[in-house]
């Protein structure tokens, strides 16, 4: 085997944007003057072919004749450069570009590649003009270009040759270990810790008792198995009983005390009490009213609702916070392609992804406080996450039609990365319901997609001390959107041809989770681990079973369909492997060659996890209003427009493709110049007709500092009113209109389990979580909006030594509503001079937790409250007014209140406005900046104003008119409170993220 290197060097006349970017970013972020930088790409090729063939291959396929010169087995040298920086991948880290080069190698030589082993690796070699110190070069490598968790980084004087080859070599005996479990309590805890099982004493005791029981012993003896469990069995239990999979805290028995009222209650499972029950109540109402579009909730990868008689809508939103804190790019990328697989793997599978939506919570990119060891700067987290979502969404051909970014420095330790994906699936495949997941004993288990490596085994807890330079990295993973795109194209066709009986995603927990859960349906499974395709040799059986290697699905296939399915997979270049079959034995039976790696009672595996008990104590925080006097309203507005939570997200939005598939109707930015921010996104289902859906996200973490109940209720309202703003109408159980609304809840909270030293305010945090759930129940059942999927992430704390950075308790409500005719929807920008401007809904003195108060660095006490009855009446009127085509523009009021909504609508439509609020009971500051819920800025053509006012009555207030001036002028109580150029507001808004 020969090792060749090929370097692609840009010709001198070609602009080097990669080199230039390094020059600029080094200066901007680290104040390092690199001088001129040139970037080049290096391919390391392991091949038996002679040098001439490899040279011709590189010359004809890797090189772009217009752009490059190539250098083989030696690097280009230029005396003007002093130093180099070389960035490659660590062994076992996904190198998609290398894989693509291998595909072109196979095409060029007309050979077929059988093995999954990598033989072409890529890297970037930078030439740096200035003689930078090793420290500076290391900073650029570690903190700007790469991440030591995934990158091999070299630097120093110029090199003549690259020697590094990231092949994976593992020296290990493949074997199944037996683990002694008849241990005392301390030893059980020790065992859990040593094996990274994350199980507590009670859970370990339950496992011990199970294996020591006479019944288990007898069964194992009969099979010739050891009495004590195998490593694989404990790993499967650790994975299945993890918080991630069993939601132990959301199912805990909680003792809740309200210290203010003395009220005390027991809550047996937050999930059952609030989430499951609210949906059940709502579903009953729709069934009774004859408007039953809910097909499936809570018992599959994602919920399913009915669009029409031909198709169903499936969607899921979840988080990928911890991986994104470690490696922002890889974490977000696997987050987005991971959530794609949820709707793809719901029911029979094969749904076609319709849109993505992302909500991101970061610390300020301008943060200049200290960083803990291992903590990345918020700016770096932000840029990495955005790049990950860009690659994950764009390369999969799924439009990102809506999203939101929330800044709060408490997200600087762990960012929140919410990724959501919706898909559309035919309602029936060959007359069989697509959303059902039938599995019978005898059906084959077929694994599809990527191969298995050590990726994601025990996630971040894997210590870097235990690995040498040829060990594959397991802590972080990089997704491969193209591998998955091939697979999703394949699944769509295979499902339509009736070749798939059911499918599911191999996500967290890998095969252990996916097969372990599917096995519950027929009541058993046999998995032959030695058949599973590996990326490289040396994986232990238990590692194969729990690996989280990406881009994998598991299919349930009837034996007689196997050969057609496998032949079709060849066309799509998707690797399929038959790894076993389903049974009704009642056991999860895992084999490696002739040996049993695990034989676990399914009932024990899924139902024996002991219940958790937790304590919650609520005491309302003592807060007061700051009493701001003599405020300069012009100055406040200008500052608000440029503040992080309000300013334009244009630089982020535009790197996401929001209109691939040609069906997006309301994009994040609209209007003549693309400057008008919108409330909800709207997309058509198909090019054939104008049926569509609106999607929105409600998230208001800062209100939780005052009251978690109002924070949760307000976030819920925000999600509804965004959809109302674009022309949606509320669901109605008593009218068979087929208008579905579906909701995903996503809780992200700090550790809420009380501990005297480690978590002294755990009871308060848990009380906050309870209150968030109470609001969820109240809002969902009031508005009849069911939760069709959801997720909870319970430990969002970044710890180092004694320091802990915890996220504020946060809930994201992601909503989708069916839109009958997307042509009848609304945008936020002012349309024509002369249009009458109304405020719909009432403003209260509710500046508590507002962006305005944040400017003064105060919290306040008057948190915005949701008045459900008012909200519902207003939303019904909005839908009615839209049906009568009375509305020219509508924009929901949220961060920054009325003043910000007016400014955005004005510059969105390249217009101005003059406003006169003749009488105020709450003062100008609150009129302008209070963030009271359920309000809109609406414009109406003058000839429709009377009709509009007759419909809204007291629910609207005529504020003024749109004009063609470059001015926003607001008079309150006869005084000029705002008089400013719209252009200046727009400029401040545009530059918030560009400082």
Partner 1 sequence: MVKALVVTGFGINCEEEMAAAYRLLGAEATILHLNELFQERDSIHNYDILNFPGGFSFGDDIGSAKVLANKFKFKKMRSGKLFIDEITQFLNDGKYIIGVCNGFQALVKMGLLPNIGGTYEQEVTLTNNASGKFEDRWVHCSITPENPTPFLNDPEIKGMDLPVRHGEGKLIIRDEEIRNMILEKKLNVMTYTDKNGEPTAEYPANPNGSELNCAGLCDVSGQVFGLMPHPEAYLSLYNHPDWAGKKRANPDISEDGEGLAVFKNIIKKIGNK
Nearer to partner 1, 711 or 726 (CB): 726
- Kindly state whether residue 654 participates in binding partner 1, applying the rule CB under 8 A: yes
CB atoms near residue 972 (< 10 Å): 20
Smaller CB separation from partner 1, 664 or 696: 664
Distance separating alpha carbons of residues 93 and 147, to the nearest angstrom: 12
Pick from 183, 427, 482, 631 the residue near partner 1 by CB under 8 A. 482
Out of 36, 71, 82, 104, point to the residue binding partner 1 (CB under 8 A). 104
C-beta closer to partner 1: residue 21 or 189: 21
For residue 687, the minimal CB distance to partner 1 (Å) is 4
- Per CB under 8 A, 395 contacts partner 1: yes
Does position 303 interact with partner 1 (CB under 8 A)? The reply is no
Residues 814-853: x where in contact with partner 1 by CB under 8 A, - otherwise, as a string:
--------xx--xx-x-xx---------------------
Q: What is the residue whose two structure tokens read 């087995």?
A: 73
Decide: is 65 part of the binding site for partner 1 (CB under 8 A): yes
Half-sphere exposure of 195 (CA within 13 A, CB side): 26
State which residue, 183 or 655, has the beta carbon closest to partner 1. 655
Binding mask 330-369 for partner 1 (x = CB under 8 A): ----------------------------------------
Give yes or no for residue 310 binding partner 1 (CB under 8 A). Answer: no
CB of 384 to partner 1, least distance (A): 14
Q: Does 218 bind partner 1 (CB under 8 A)?
A: no
* Binding segment toward partner 1, per CB under 8 A, in 190-198, 429-437, 565-573, 858-866: 565-573
662 forms part of the interface with partner 1 (CB under 8 A): yes
Residue 311 C-beta: closest distance to partner 1, Å? 15
Q: Give 721's contacts (C-beta < 8 A, 6+ positions apart).
A: 679, 871, 875, 892, 933, 934, 935, 936
What is the DSSP annotation of 646-683? TS--HHHHTTS---TTS-EEE-SEESTTS-EE-SSEEE
Contact present, 361 and 421 (Cβ < 8 Å)? no
As a whole number of angstroms, the distance between CA 39 and CA 22 comes to: 9
Degrees (nearest 5) of the Cα angle 589, 593, 594? 75
Residue where the block lists tokens 């005719």: 821
Which lies closer to partner 1 via its Cβ, residue 182 or residue 885?
A: 885
Identity of the residue, 24 or 131, whose beta carbon is nearer to partner 1 in the bound complex: 24
CB closer to partner 1 out of 493 and 735:
493
CA–CA gap between residue 703 and residue 713 (Å, rounded): 10
- When the beta carbons of 229 and 908 are compared against partner 1, the nearer one is 908
- DSSP secondary structure of 81-148: --EEEEEEEPTTS--HHHHHHHHHHHHHHT---------EEEEEEEEESS---HHHHHHIIIIII--T
Nearer to partner 1, 101 or 600 (CB): 101
Interface pick for partner 1 out of 2, 27, 28, 67 (rule CB under 8 A): 67
Q: Is 571 in the site for partner 1 (CB under 8 A)?
A: yes
- Is residue 497 at the binding interface for partner 1, with CB under 8 A as the rule? no
CB atoms closer than 10 angstroms to residue 3:
14
Q: Which is nearer to partner 1, 62 or 644 (CB)?
A: 62
Instruction: Provide, rounded to whole angstroms, the least separation between the CB of residue 27 and partner 1.
Output: 15
Largest CA distance in the chain: 91
Per-residue x/- track, 917-936, partner 1 (CB under 8 A) = --------------------
Under rule CB under 8 A, residue 100 binds partner 1: yes
Q: Whole-number minimum distance, CB 396 to partner 1, in Å?
A: 7
CB of 223 to partner 1, least distance (A): 45
- List the interface residues with partner 1, window 14-43 (CB under 8 A): 14-15, 17-18, 20-21
Cβ atoms within 10 A of the Cβ of 491, count? 27
Residues numbered 861 to 900 that lie near partner 1 (CB under 8 A) are: 888-889
**What are the residues whose beta carbons fall under 8 Å from the beta carbon of 458, sequence distance 6 or more?**
196, 474
**Which letter does DSSP use for residue 808 in this model?**
P
Binding segment for partner 1 (CB under 8 A), chosen from 304-312, 395-403, 434-442, 538-546, is: 395-403
Is 421:398 a contact under the CB 8 Å cutoff? yes
Handedness of CA 826, 828, 830, 836 (dihedral sign): positive
Contact call for residue 711 and partner 1 (CB under 8 A) = no
Footprint (CB under 8 A) of partner 1, residues 397-456: 397
Q: Residue 163 and residue 148: Cα distance in Å, rounded?
A: 19
CB of 380 to partner 1, least distance (A): 17
Q: Does residue number 487 form part of the binding site for partner 1 (CB under 8 A)?
A: no
Q: Does 195 bind partner 1 (CB under 8 A)?
A: no
Contact window for partner 1 (CB under 8 A) among 188-196, 289-297, 436-444, 659-667: 659-667
Closest CA to 164 of 124, 115, 128: 124
Pair 134, 100: CB distance under 8 Å: no
Alpha-carbon Rg for the chain in angstroms: 29
SS (H, E, C) 754-770: CECCCECCHHHHHHHHH
CB of 688 to partner 1, least distance (A): 8
Residue from 64, 180, 263, 603 binding partner 1 (CB under 8 A): 64
844, two tokens: 């209260």
Instruction: By CB under 8 A, name the one of 61, 131, 584, 734 that touches partner 1.
Output: 61
Beta carbons within 10 angstroms of residue 441's beta carbon: 13
C-alpha closest to that of 470 among 92, 114, 838:
92
Closest CA to 453 of 482, 480, 416: 480
Count of residues engaged in binding partner 1, rule: CB under 8 A? 70
Locate the DSSP E strands across 512-624. 525-528, 552-557, 576-582, 587-592, 595-601, 613-618
CB nearer to partner 1: give 311 or 752: 311
* 657 contributes a contact to partner 1 by CB under 8 A: yes
Site residues (CB under 8 A) for partner 1, limited to 663-682: 663-665, 667, 669-672, 674
Instruction: Classify residue 799 by burial, with Cβ atoms within 10 Å: 0-12, 13-18, 19+.
Output: middle
Q: Name the segment binding partner 1 (CB under 8 A); options: 186-194, 214-222, 298-306, 484-492.
A: 484-492
Among the listed residues 53, 69, 78, 107, the single contact to partner 1 using CB under 8 A? 107
Task: Give me the residues paired with residue 319 across strands.
Answer: 418
Give the shortest CB-230-to-partner 1 separation in angstroms. Answer: 39
Task: DSSP letter for 65, please.
Answer: T
Contacts of 198 (CB under 8 A, 6+ apart): 192, 238, 242, 243
**Min separation Cβ 123 and partner 1, Å:** 13
What tokens appear for 441 in the block?
């004993």
Among 96-104, 131-139, 457-465, 774-782, the segment contacting partner 1 (CB under 8 A): 96-104
Q: Pick from 59, 73, 82, 96 the residue near partner 1 by CB under 8 A.
A: 96
Q: Any contact of residue 573 with partner 1 (CB under 8 A)?
A: yes
Name which position in 151, 357, 486, 882 contacts partner 1 (CB under 8 A).
Answer: 486
- C-alpha–C-alpha distance, residues 848 and 852, integer Å: 9
> Given the rule CB under 8 A, which residues bind partner 1?
14-15, 17-18, 20-21, 60-62, 64-67, 96-97, 99-101, 103-104, 107-108, 110, 390-391, 394-397, 480-482, 485-486, 489, 571-573, 653-665, 667, 669-672, 674, 684, 687, 690, 822-823, 826-827, 829, 831-832, 888-889, 909
């Amino acid at each position: 085997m020969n090792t060749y290197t090929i370097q692609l060097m840009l010709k001198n006349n070609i602009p080097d944007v990669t080199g230039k970017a390094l020059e600029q970013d080094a200066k901007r972020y680290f104040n390092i003057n690199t001088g001129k930088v040139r970037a080049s790409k290096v391919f390391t090729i392991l091949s038996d072919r002679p040098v001439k063939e490899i040279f011709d291959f590189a010359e004809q396929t890797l090189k772009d004749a217009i752009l490059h010169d190539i250098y083989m087995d030696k690097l280009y040298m230029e005396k003007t450069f002093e130093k180099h920086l070389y960035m490659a991948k660590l062994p076992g880290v996904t190198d998609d570009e290398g894989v693509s080069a291998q595909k072109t190698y196979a095409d060029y030589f007309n050979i077929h590649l059988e093995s999954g082993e990598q033989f072409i690796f890529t890297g970037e070699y930078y030439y740096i003009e200035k003689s930078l110190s090793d420290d500076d070069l290391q900073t650029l490598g570690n903190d700007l270009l790469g991440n030591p968790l995934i990158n091999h980084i070299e630097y120093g004087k110029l090199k003549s040759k690259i020697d590094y080859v990231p092949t994976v070599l593992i020296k290990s005996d493949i074997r199944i270990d037996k683990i002694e479990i008849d241990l005392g309590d301390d030893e059980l805890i020790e065992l859990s810790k040593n094996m990274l099982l994350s199980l507590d004493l009670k859970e370990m005791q339950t496992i011990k008792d199970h294996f020591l029981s006479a019944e288990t012993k007898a069964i194992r003896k009969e099979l010739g198995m050891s009495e004590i469990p195998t490593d694989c069995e404990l790993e499967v239990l650790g994975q299945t009983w993890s918080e991630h999979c069993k939601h132990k805290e959301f199912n805990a028995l909680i003792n809740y005390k309200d210290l203010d009222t003395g009220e005390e209650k027991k809550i047996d499972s937050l999930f059952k009490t609030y989430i499951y029950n609210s949906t059940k109540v709502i579903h009953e109402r729709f069934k009774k009213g004859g408007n039953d579009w809910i097909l499936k909730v809570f018992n599959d990868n994602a919920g399913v609702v009915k669009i029409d008689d031909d198709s169903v809508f499936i969607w899921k939103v979840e988080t990928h916070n911890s991986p994104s804190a470690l490696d922002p790019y890889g974490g977000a990328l696997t987050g987005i392609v991971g959530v794609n697989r949820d709707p793809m793997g719901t029911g029979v599978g094969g749904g076609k992804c319709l849109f993505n939506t992302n909500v991101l919570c970061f610390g300020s990119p301008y943060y200049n406080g200290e960083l803990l060891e291992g903590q990345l700067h918020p700016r770096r987290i932000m840029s990495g996450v955005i790049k990950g979502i860009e690659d994950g969404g764009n390369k999969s051909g799924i439009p990102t039609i809506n999203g939101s970014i929330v800044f709060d420095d408490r997200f600087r330790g762990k960012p929140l990365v919410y990724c959501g994906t919706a898909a559309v699936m035919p309602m029936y495949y060959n007359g069989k319901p697509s959303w059902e997941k039938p599995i019978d004993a005898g059906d084959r288990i077929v694994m599809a997609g990527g191969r298995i490596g050590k990726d994601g085994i025990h996630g971040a807890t894997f210590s870097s001390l235990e690995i040498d330079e040829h060990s594959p990295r397991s802590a972080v993973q990089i997704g491969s959107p193209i591998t998955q795109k091939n697979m999703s194209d394949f699944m769509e066709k295979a499902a339509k041809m009736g070749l798939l009986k059911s499918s599911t995603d191999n996500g967290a927990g890998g095969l252990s989770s996916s097969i372990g859960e599917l096995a519950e349906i027929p009541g058993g499974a046999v998995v032959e681990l030695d058949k599973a395709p590996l990326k490289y040799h040396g994986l232990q059986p238990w590692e194969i079973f729990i690996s989280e290697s990406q881009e994998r699905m598991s299919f349930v296939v009837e034996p007689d369909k196997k050969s057609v399915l496998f032949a079709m997979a060849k066309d799509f270049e998707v690797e399929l492997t038959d790894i076993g079959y389903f049974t009704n034995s009642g056991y999860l039976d895992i084999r490696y060659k002739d040996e049993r790696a695990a034989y676990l009672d399914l009932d024990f595996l899924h139902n024996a996890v002991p219940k958790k008990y937790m304590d919650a104590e609520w005491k309302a925080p003592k807060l007061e209003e700051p009493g701001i006097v003599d405020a300069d309203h012009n100055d406040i507005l200008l500052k608000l427009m440029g503040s992080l939570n309000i300013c334009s997200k244009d630089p982020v939005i535009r790197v996401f493709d929001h209109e691939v598939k040609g069906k997006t109707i309301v994009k994040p930015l609209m209007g003549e110049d693309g400057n008008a921010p919108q409330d909800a996104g709207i997309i058509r289902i198909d090019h054939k007709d104008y049926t569509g859906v609106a999607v929105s996200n409600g998230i208001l973490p800062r209100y939780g500092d005052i009251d978690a109940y109002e924070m949760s209720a307000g976030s819920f309202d925000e999600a509804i009113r965004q959809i109302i703003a674009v022309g949606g109408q509320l669901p109605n159980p008593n009218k068979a209109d087929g208008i579905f609304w579906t909701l995903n809840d996503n809780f992200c909270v700090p550790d809420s389990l009380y501990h005297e030293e480690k978590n002294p305010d755990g009871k308060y945090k848990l009380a906050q979580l309870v209150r968030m759930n109470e609001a969820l129940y109240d809002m969902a059942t009031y508005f009849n909006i069911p939760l069709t999927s959801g997720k909870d992430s319970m430990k969002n704390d970044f710890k180092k030594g004694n320091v802990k950075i915890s996220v504020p308790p946060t809930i994201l409500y992601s909503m989708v509503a069916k839109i009958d005719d997307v042509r009848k929807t609304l945008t936020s920008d002012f349309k024509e001079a002369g249009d009458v401007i109304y405020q719909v809904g009432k403003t209260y003195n509710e500046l508590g937790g507002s962006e305005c108060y944040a400017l003064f660095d105060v919290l306040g006490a008057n948190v915005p409250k949701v008045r459900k009855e008012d909200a519902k009446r207003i939303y019904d009127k909005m839908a009615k007014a839209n049906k009568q085509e009375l509305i020219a523009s509508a924009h929901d009021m949220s961060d920054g209140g009325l003043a910000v909504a007016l400014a955005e609508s004005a510059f969105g439509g390249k217009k101005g406005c003059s406003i006169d609020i003749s009488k105020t009971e709450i003062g100008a500051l609150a009129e302008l900046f209070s963030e009271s819920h359920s309000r809109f800025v609406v414009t109406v053509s003058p000839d429709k104003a009377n009709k509009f006012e007759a419909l809204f009555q007291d629910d609207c207030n005529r504020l003024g008119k749109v004009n063609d001036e470059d001015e926003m002028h607001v008079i309150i109580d006869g005084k000029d409170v705002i008089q400013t150029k719209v252009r200046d507001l727009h400029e401040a808004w545009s530059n918030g993220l560009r400082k």
